[in-house]
Amino acid sequence: MKKYIPNSLTLFRVILVPIFFWLVYYSNMKYNYPWATFVFIVASITDIFDGLLARRFGAVTNFGKIMDPLADKLLTLLALIALISEPMKMMSINVFYVILFREVVITLLRHYYTIKKIYIPANVWGKIKTSFQLTGIISALVYYSALYPFIPEYHSKFQFGFNIYFWFTAVITILSGITYLFPNARKGK
């Protein structure tokens, strides 16, 4: 029974992706941004636990290997699109392109390495990249859904601060991607 928990969490996160998308882009609910923030945080928490539980229970599956990173990328990219769009505008579109470029290139490289039977485990740079992206996204969503309604006159200052943070995150994202270009160096060969 335990072995199904990680995949159930991954499937739950996959279901949360369109819910987050609907709340941010289509919902006319009064509190759509706070609900979207809540959904994103819940999805981020399930991401942490599904990987830990899969390793602990020895339940690493092909479904998890494919759907876990796919759900992560979709959720993150949708949140980043929300941050570059009206009404938030808390990140430069160029930062989004840098992150999108890295994700596409690394996804293609991972696929190529899989075909060549080269296994590239996650490293510290990937964890740092994910931490910075999630921290920035959650902070921006919490600010916009909880603080912005009470202090709209300071929005330009918050936009500036988040923009700097996300440029820094883009640099870390590129650095984490570079480590995938040299798989032999990562394996210590």
Structure tokens at 51: 């990987």
Give the mean pLDDT of the chain: 87
Answer yes or no: is pLDDT of 31 > 60: yes
How far apart CA 126 and CA 120 sit, in angstroms, is: 11
| Threshold 0.95, pTM exceeds | no
pLDDT digits (tens, 9 = 90+) for 102-124: 989 988 888 888 788 877 767 78
> What is the CATH code for 2-186?
1.20.120.1760
- CA-based nearest residue to 20, from 130, 145, 176, 105: 145
HSE value, Cβ hemisphere, 13 Å, CA-based, for 12: 18
pLDDT per position as a tens digit, 142-174: 999 999 999 999 999 999 999 999 999 999 999
Give the CA distances from residue 145 to residues 31, 39, 57, 83, in Å, rounded to whole numbers and listed in that order: 8, 12, 37, 12
Confidence band for 99, pLDDT divided at 50, 70 and 90: very high
